[in-house]
Amino acid sequence: MKSDSKVVLVTGASSGIGEATVRLLAERGHRLVMGARRADRLSALADEVRSAGGEVEFTPLDVTDLGSMQSFVDLALEKYGRVDVIVNNAGVMPLSPLEALKVEEWNQMIDVNLRGVLHGIATALPVMKRQRSGQIINVSSTAGHRVWPSSAVYSATKHAVVALSEGLRQENPDIRVTILSPGATQSELAKTITHAETAEFVDRFREVAIPAEAIACAISFAIEQPADVDVSEMIVRPTASSN
């Protein structure tokens, strides 16, 4: 364990950006607590990390449930006694035109992408205030900076994450707050799209997608800055992306 090892909590850790972040930060000597709904994947990932010499704990997590998120944070406190960083990464992206009226999918995006981030803040922030230190990294998206046809609700949730994060930063000068906005990234996000025409468009859009490890590197960079340096916002997108 490095002398500057931090206790880092990662939501949505069973695949994509979350999984890549767990792997990289464990390699860099940080202590990880990971959560996601798919406990079997978390267990397999934990075995791999531990066999490589990393330190990790995990628990099933539903970010839309405040009690589940509280148990996630409590696990970190029980095992490591503190929470240095939480990466609010869990997200869904069932894009569709508004006229398709996929209201249940709208609600799912609001619950996971926005309410899930709020639950992460609600449970981690009191711990960090007691510690008088900590960092909250909220994963937004390039869709949090603009809107495309079919992305209205998804973009709304990600714009909200940007606004929420900036408010959090201004209110808490003792806590570092980072907004990370990935562009097209290799992950399972697009698999949640049920609108056929939109799915075809997104497949073409994602042809230039960068690996999830690129986003993990950005997260590592933000975490490992000196305590008086806050990387407030990063946009990480494919070089070939026009959006």
- H helices present in 132-211, as ranges: 152-171, 196-205
The residues that bridge with 33 in the sheet, in sequence order, are 9, 57
Alpha-carbon distance 104 to 109, whole Å? 9
CB 120 within 8 A of CB 11: yes
Residue in 58, 80, 106, 154 annotated catalytic: 154
Residue 154 annotated to the active site:
yes
Q: Is 200 exposed, middle or buried (0-12, 13-18, 19+ CB in 10 A)?
A: exposed
* Order of strands, sheet of 135-139, starting from the edge strand that comes earlier in the sequence: 55-60, 31-36, 7-11, 85-88, 135-139, 176-182, 233-236
Alpha-carbon distance 82 to 101, whole Å? 43
> Which positions are annotated as active-site residues?
154
